[in-house]
Structure 1
Amino acid sequence: MRTFTLEREQRFPGPPDRIFDFFGDAANLERITPPSLGFRIVTPQPISMREGTLIDYRLRLHGIPFGWRTLIERWNPPHDFVDRQLRGPYRLWVHTHRFTPVDGGTHVHDHVEYAVPFGSCVDRMFVRRELDRIFDYRCEQLTEILGAC
């Protein structure tokens, strides 16, 4: 299985525990996901986040509805957490979120390892472009909500 990597970094004012708390609240995903995806959490809230937590979502991609189930594989406040797709559109999706204190704020590093059906051709033609669009939107929303360093 061929895997691909997506990396994003941002800096925010405030200590890692405050920034981690925002990212660690699953309800905030709806705020930072493009409206065109029709993203919604179907797991009853509030969700108690810890290793082993399962979260179910519904969304639409190119008009096609699908479910997504995430496992919180690692939960290490306020340093990092890892979510893994158990069911959804990807053959593999592992998203590591890291929070590091820096002068005047927090550095957030996202590392996503993913795989798609039909490999690099599908990734190059559709998936990577869509992921870049989603993460660009996320970056804009996070800057608006949390501020920028």
Structure 2
Amino acid sequence: MLLRDHAIFILEISQELPLPLDSVFPFFAAPENLEAITPPWLNFRILTPRPIQMKQGARIDYSIRLRGIPLRWRTEITLFEPPHRFVDLQVRGPYSFWEHTHTFAATSTGTRIMDRVCYLPPKIPLFATLLEQQRIPQCLLQTPAH
């Protein structure tokens, strides 16, 4: 398969919020909240008409800007298991491969959020360099909640 011949990058981050799982999961599972929690310099915008029903098979279109260059991005929700997990897979966008697993677990003091992004840089060297210089995977995981 594609991933056998390539070195895949894996980014993981885990943080705890002092809020209950039943309020944390719905917030992060609502695509509309991405614009509020994504770093403003990415100029992140959802292009899919709202409301967006979060479910397995849902497709969501986004745009970001890097140094004035607009990039379009489409993800598909490949797994949706409220209130514990969902996975979005890039079906069109800047990366050769991008899969983001969001996992949520109740703790004695709130909710632990675990993010895992597996990705391959773009095949076009200019885009690969630009995305890595801007540390896009790391920025998308470092939201105010993290």
- TM-score relative to the length of structure 2: 0.86
Contact 2:96 2:123 in 1 (8 A): no
The answer to whether residue 69 in structure 2 is matched with residue 61 in structure 1 is: no
Cα distance, 1:66–1:124 mapped onto 2, change above 3 Å: closer
User: Which secondary structure does the structure 2 equivalent of 1:90 belong to?
Assistant: coil
Indicate the residue corresponding to 1:132 in structure 2. Answer: 138
Measured after TM superposition, the shift of residue 15 of structure 1 is: 1.9
Q: CA deviation at 1:58?
A: 1.2
Partner of 1:142: 145
Q: CA RMSD in A?
A: 2.1
Report the counterpart of residue 109 of structure 2 in structure 1. 104
Residue 51 of structure 1 and its aligned partner are, at CA, apart by 0.1
* Distance in 1, Cα, partners of 2:128 & 2:16: 28
Determine what percentage of the aligned residue pairs are the same residue.
Answer: 44
| TM-score, normalised with respect to structure 1 | 0.84
| Structure 1 consecutive aligned stretches of length 4 or more whose deviation exceeds 4 Å | 122-126
* Structure 2: 5+ residue stretches without partners: 1-5
* Structure 1 unaligned regions, length at least 5: 144-149
| 2:3 corresponding residue in structure 1 | none
